[in-house]
Chains A and B, each alone.
Chain A
Amino acid sequence: MTSVSLKVNGKSVTREVEGRTLLVQLLRDHLGLTGTHVGCDTSQCGACVVHVDGESIKSCTMLAVQANGLEVTTIEGLAAADGTLHPMQAAFREHHGLQCGYCTPGMVMSAVDLAKSHEHLDEKTVREGLEGNICRCTGYHNIVKAVLAGAEAMRSQPAQAAAE
């Protein structure tokens, strides 16, 4: 067992894990943050996407020990403490960008990173930027609308967007 210390959603945590423990297992099984999901075993579906030091990564393809000393944000850490949704979360609701909700946490975390890393987003950029996230319900139509609207809102409401 190895000790791993990291910040998750702003709080410092330390846990004993095996070398083979994945970051997603640390989050779900050790920290009870079950909003991060696992939808495949080949690192493609993106249901497990979280932010590590502000960048989106697949938490099923990172060892927990590799996150030692880093800052992790999960879907649970995105909304403000008072429950106010992050602009990207709000946009997904407004535009019906989710149905069963299973891919949603990863989709939203990817979308936030996509919005932050592009000055301008159009439909093509969004579709290509979501290459690492698979949704089986929505046909992506409303997800694309939501991400475009959410990115726009992040630009106009920087304070809420920075809640992360």
Chain B
Amino acid sequence: MYAFEYHRPTSLSEVTGLVSGKEDAKIIAGGQTLIPTLKQRLAQPSDVIDLGAVAELHGIREEGGGLVIGATTKHAEVAGSDIVRRLIPELAELANGIGDAQVRNRGTLGGSICNNDPSADYPAALVGLNATVHTNKRTIPAEEFFTGMFETALELDEIVTAVAFPKPGRVGYAKFPNPASRYATVGVLVAEVDGAVRVAVTGAGPVVFRWPEAEQALSSNFSAAALNGLTVDADGLNADIHASAEYRANLVAVMAKRAVVRAAG
């Protein structure tokens, strides 16, 4: 790890002040991606700004019938939250499947979505559940937030403060983990939101995407059978030693069906 200066602000305004004043600052929340990256010397920030002491960024609450989760809320907190279990139980299950128990005790919702790893679980949840990302400057619909591999719509000095999820109807998430890293090779979230079916796919492409054909098929018949014969084009999907693009395309179809079964179950 390269040397850096560490800061631990206690308010959001202090955070934004620090961020805008530094040449090459990085924000750390749970650090479950940033610290491994720093250890491998793949990043050399001048300053590391820790959000851990900013109380206003943390916590889970019910608001307007939906759910608002603060950016520094840990995966384990989402997984164990009574509010989440009541409003969107499958979101708690999804959080409970991120990384391992120790990662879930440190890793945060905000950290995950700001990193926007193409094989992270939360992007599927945000897009599939039609969530809204709140920042210190504005609100961004989830679909506009995730712009590319490891890229988001955030501006340089913009901080995610929370994510708001409307209360959905049926929700199911199925993931096929990479056998080594356990990240999602493919993860599919199927949800009924505001009367429409949404299907969001993570892991398969450079960035989370919706699968319109599946959404259409499920809108008229919310069952796994409705997806029979539907495939996504392997062109443009990710490929690595663990999964070819073609295999990923197959997994999208298989996981989508399993997500529907979970949602219906």
User: Is the A/B pair a real complex?
Assistant: yes
Q: Which A residues are in CB contact (< 8 Å) with B40?
A: 41
Contact assessment for A66 and B52 in the assembled complex, using a CB-CB cutoff below 8 Å: yes
Report if A56-B101 is in contact (Cβ < 8 Å); known contacts: A19-B3, A43-B32, A62-B31: yes
* Docked CA distance A18–B3 (Å): 8
Is A58 in the interface zone, CB < 8 Å from B? yes
Is B105 in the interface zone, CB < 8 Å from A? yes
Closest B residue to A59 by beta carbon equals B102
Contact assessment for A20 and B101 in the assembled complex, using a CB-CB cutoff below 8 Å: no
Contact assessment for A49 and B6 in the assembled complex, using a CB-CB cutoff below 8 Å: no
Report if A19-B39 is in contact (Cβ < 8 Å); known contacts: A43-B32, A46-B102, A131-B100: no
* Docked CA distance A131–B100 (Å): 6
* Docked CA distance A68–B6 (Å): 12
Q: Which B residues are in CB contact (< 8 Å) with A113?
A: 101
Q: Which A residues are in CB contact (< 8 Å) with B6?
A: 2, 19, 63, 65
* Docked CA distance A107–B8 (Å): 31
Q: Can you list, as one digit per residue, whether each of A120-153 has a CB less than 8 Å from chain B (1) or not (0)?
A: 0000000001011100000000000000000000
Q: Which B residues are in CB contact (< 8 Å) with A41?
A: 36, 39-40
Q: Can you list, as one digit per residue, whether each of A51-66 has a CB less than 8 Å from chain B (1) or not (0)?
A: 0100111101111011
Report if A132-B31 is in contact (Cβ < 8 Å); known contacts: A18-B3, A19-B6, A66-B50: no
Closest B residue to A106 by beta carbon equals B102
How many chain A residues sit at the interface, stated as a range, is 20 to 34
Report if A110-B101 is in contact (Cβ < 8 Å); known contacts: A18-B3, A66-B50, A131-B182: yes
| Chain A nearest Cβ from B95, distance in angstroms | 14
Q: Which B residues are in CB contact (< 8 Å) with A27?
A: none
Q: Which A residues are in CB contact (< 8 Å) with B182?
A: 131
Contact assessment for A20 and B38 in the assembled complex, using a CB-CB cutoff below 8 Å: yes
* Docked CA distance A49–B100 (Å): 12
User: For the complex, would chain A's binding face be called helix, strand, loop or mixed by DSSP majority?
Assistant: mixed
Contact assessment for B36 and A43 in the assembled complex, using a CB-CB cutoff below 8 Å: yes
User: Most A CB atoms within 10 A — which of B5, B35, B101, B103?
Assistant: B101
Contact assessment for B5 and A19 in the assembled complex, using a CB-CB cutoff below 8 Å: yes
* Docked CA distance A137–B1 (Å): 30
| Chain A nearest Cβ from B80, distance in angstroms | 8
Which residues of B (145-175) have their CB < 8 Å from a CB of A? Answer: none
* Docked CA distance A55–B80 (Å): 13
Q: Which B residues are in CB contact (< 8 Å) with A110?
A: 101-102
Contact assessment for B101 and A19 in the assembled complex, using a CB-CB cutoff below 8 Å: no
Is A154 in the interface zone, CB < 8 Å from B? no
Contact assessment for A63 and B35 in the assembled complex, using a CB-CB cutoff below 8 Å: yes
Q: Which B residues are in CB contact (< 8 Å) with A18?
A: 3
Which residues of A (26-54) have their CB < 8 Å from a CB of B? Answer: 41-44, 46, 49, 52
Q: Can you list, as one digit per residue, whether each of B36-79 has a CB less than 8 Å from chain A (1) or not (0)?
A: 10111000000010101000000000000000000000001000
* Docked CA distance A58–B38 (Å): 15
Residue from B8, B36, B106 in contact with A57 in the complex, judged by beta carbons closer than 8 Å? B106
Contact assessment for B101 and A66 in the assembled complex, using a CB-CB cutoff below 8 Å: no
Residue from A20, A42, A56 in contact with B102 in the complex, judged by beta carbons closer than 8 Å? A56
* Docked CA distance A161–B50 (Å): 33
Closest A residue to B4 by beta carbon equals A19
Closest A residue to B107 by beta carbon equals A61
A-B contact list, 22 entries, CB within 8 Å: A19-B3, A19-B5, A20-B4, A20-B38, A22-B39, A43-B103, A56-B105, A57-B102, A58-B103, A58-B106, A61-B32, A61-B102, A61-B106, A63-B28, A63-B48, A65-B50, A66-B50, A110-B101, A110-B102, A129-B101, A131-B100, A131-B101
Given A41-B39, A62-B106, 19 more A-B residue pairs with CB atoms under 8 Å apart are A18-B3, A19-B5, A19-B48, A20-B4, A20-B38, A22-B35, A41-B36, A46-B100, A49-B102, A56-B102, A58-B102, A61-B36, A63-B6, A63-B35, A63-B48, A65-B6, A66-B31, A66-B52, A132-B99
